[in-house]
Amino acid sequence: MHKSMPDNGVKRDEILSQLDSFKEQDPNYKSGKLWSLVYYIDEAHQELLKDAYFKYSSENGLNPTAFKSLKKLENEVISATADILNGTDEVCGVVTSGGTESCLMAVKTYRDMAREKRRVKKPEMIIPETAHVAWYKASEYFNVKIRMVPLKEDLTPDLGKLKKMINRNTVMILGSAPEYPHGTIDPIEAMGEIALQHNIPLHVDACVGGFILPFMEMNGENIPPWDYRVAGVTSISADIHKYGYAAKGASTITYRNLEYLKYQMFVQPNWSGGVFASSALLGTRPGGAYAGAWAALQYFGKEGYKKLADETLQAVNRIKAGIAGIPELEIMGKPQGPLLAYKSIDPEVNIFAVGDQMNAKGWQVNKNQKPNGLHAMVTAQHLAVIDEYLADLKDAVATVKANPELANQGGAATYGMMAHIPLRGMVKKKVLEIYSAMYKAGGGQLDLSAAADVDTDGQGEKPSLVDKIATWYVNRASKKS
Ligand SMILES: *Cc1c(COP(=O)(O)O)cnc(C)c1O
């Protein structure tokens, strides 16, 4: 049976206290123990976002001529973004609901541009293996085939191979600044030259880097060129709800000029509801998110963002130094911004077992795969907990080294097994089954009861989707034999 809404309205205080109570099971991001998902500074900043959001929470940016206030906010956000990305006065763009929407829009734009200008019917895009998963989503949604550039030893894309992938169906090339898994900035200058030579658009995915790399550079850091100063770059996505510290629901997509952006537009002159035009994916567009983004830019200003970037980099550098002091571990690739990942270089130390130990100590670290590693999305907030993190990391490595059997337990066992499941198509099917069950009528929970048999580390870490799939696989394999 469905849980229905109350027959009679509930009192305000009751509603709000219930909302607070629902958070009890959520990750506690205010303590700095979470290394992904949330960009938190402090309560004063949080209050500002709340108030700014609230002032425009009913306003709708669907029609940019209706609420002039929202168009003004959007213009100013895009202008400020173009400025930090070193764009000329021609750089233009749209505020979107998030990085994924910005990435999707770039693919739609370049597909449609190639269709109109070059009659391309079987569009392809060239993306490095480290491209964010949003690009895979865009490929599926918009039917643009992926040509995937393999990585070199240093985890940067192999540009020799990239060049060979270009053909008459190529509608765009993608680079990231930085890529999410290892925090490495792709060689955008060299990619820009290739793009220019072949007259193919180059999008830079700076969703995560767009609001921090420019300020690191202003602080005197040596960051390789990746923005509109690189001639071949035709568009950039940059999220304000990441290192811009805006309320969730705010990103930007900008283009070198309107000639590109116009292919992003949708127009339907024959709709019975009237002539309709839209600049991006959404219909109704949340005014609150624009106001939150605008407010964040005003609140910090360039000096505020420079200070945040500086504190973040201090935290990153201390982690890098700390990891350099743990002989079993090594930083992966060449991270130059706020993200990094590290792996084990000691065959006796399973990196996922180290992750399990860290999680048991109350941290929430994420796993990388292909190659295996642990990930950190560092913010200014983490500066205060770095010593504790590194001490725990050193401990975790020592524990795993002294107890190699930990590699066969908990998350390490299940994640390790995932890599060895040969039938990726079946894994995909199983994930789909489990994931869609969460959305079944009545709102399913992720049912992990079956995973209890593999969660033998007794550390009380909650089993994940990956555990569930590994359990399924083990059960399936044992039935067969
Ligand atoms: C976060 C991210 C995205 C997607 O952004 P969302 O806001 O999560 O939709 C895309 N690309 C990169 C590099 C990212 O880090």
Quote the pLDDT of residue 413: 83
Question: Residue 266 to residues 123, 198, 277, 282, 323: CA-CA distances in angstroms?
Answer: 19, 28, 6, 11, 49
Q: Say how many Å lie between the CA of residue 100 and the centre of ligand 1.
A: 6
Quote the pLDDT of residue 445: 67
Looking at ligand 1, which residue's alpha carbon is closest to its atom 15?
208
Question: Residue 442 to residues 1, 227, 436: CA-CA distances in angstroms?
Answer: 7, 46, 12
Quote the pLDDT of residue 457: 40
Q: Which two tokens stand for residue 314?
A: 């201090």
Ligand 1 neighbours, Cβ below 6 Å, are: 98-100, 103, 132, 134, 176, 180, 205, 207-208, 239, 251
Counting ligand 1 atoms within 8 A of each CB, the residue from 207, 281, 377 with the most, and so the one to mutate, is 207
Counting ligand 1 atoms within 8 A of each CB, the residue from 35, 36, 132, 245 with the most, and so the one to mutate, is 132
Domain 53-298 architecture: 3-Layer(aba) Sandwich (3.40)
Quote the pLDDT of residue 308: 97
Looking at ligand 1, which atom is closest to the CA of residue 241?
7
Looking at ligand 1, which atom is closest to the CA of residue 239?
7
Q: Say how many Å lie between the CA of residue 58 and the centre of ligand 1.
A: 26
Quote the pLDDT of residue 455: 38
Looking at ligand 1, which atom is closest to the CA of residue 100?
9
Quote the pLDDT of residue 481: 55
Counting ligand 1 atoms within 8 A of each CB, the residue from 37, 95, 100 with the most, and so the one to mutate, is 100
Quote the pLDDT of residue 450: 43
Q: Say how many Å lie between the CA of residue 132 and the centre of ligand 1.
A: 7
Task: Please name the residue that has the structure tokens 């027959």.
Answer: 7
Counting ligand 1 atoms within 8 A of each CB, the residue from 103, 239, 281 with the most, and so the one to mutate, is 239
Quote the pLDDT of residue 446: 60
Quote the pLDDT of residue 462: 54
Looking at ligand 1, which residue's alpha carbon is closest to its atom 12?
207
Q: Say how many Å lie between the CA of residue 135 and the centre of ligand 1.
A: 10
Name the burial class of residue 157, with classes exposed (0-12), middle (13-18) and buried (19+) by CB atoms within 10 angstroms of its CB.
buried
The C-alpha torsion from 355 through 360 and 364 to 366, rounded to 10°, is 20
Q: Say how many Å lie between the CA of residue 175 and the centre of ligand 1.
A: 13
Q: Say how many Å lie between the CA of residue 403 and the centre of ligand 1.
A: 37
Q: Which two tokens stand for residue 439?
A: 């959305």
Domain extents for the chain? 53-298, 415-480
Q: Say how many Å lie between the CA of residue 216 and the centre of ligand 1.
A: 20
Looking at ligand 1, which residue's alpha carbon is closest to its atom 3?
99
Distance CA 456, CA 471 (A): 12
Looking at ligand 1, which atom is closest to the CA of residue 131?
13
- Walk along the chain (481 residues) and give the pLDDT tens digit of each residue: 788 899 999 999 999 999 999 988 888 888 888 888 889 999 999 999 999 999 999 999 888 888 999 999 999 999 999 999 999 999 999 999 999 999 999 999 999 999 999 999 999 999 999 999 999 999 999 999 999 999 999 999 999 999 999 999 999 999 999 999 999 999 999 999 999 999 999 999 999 999 999 999 999 999 999 999 999 999 999 999 999 999 999 999 999 999 999 999 999 999 999 999 999 999 999 999 999 999 999 999 999 999 999 999 999 999 999 999 999 999 999 999 999 999 999 999 999 999 999 999 999 999 998 899 999 999 999 999 999 999 999 999 999 999 999 998 888 887 777 777 777 777 788 888 888 888 888 777 665 544 444 333 434 445 577 777 777 777 776 666 5
Looking at ligand 1, which residue's alpha carbon is closest to its atom 5?
99
Q: Say how many Å lie between the CA of residue 103 and the centre of ligand 1.
A: 8
Quote the pLDDT of residue 451: 42
Quote the pLDDT of residue 251: 98
Q: Say how many Å lie between the CA of residue 208 and the centre of ligand 1.
A: 6
Supply the DSSP string of 98-164, one letter for each residue. SHHHHHHHHHHHHHHHHHHHH--SS-EEEEETTS-HHHHHHHHHHT-EEEEEPB-TTSSB-HHHHHH
Quote the pLDDT of residue 458: 38
Q: Say how many Å lie between the CA of residue 348 and the centre of ligand 1.
A: 34
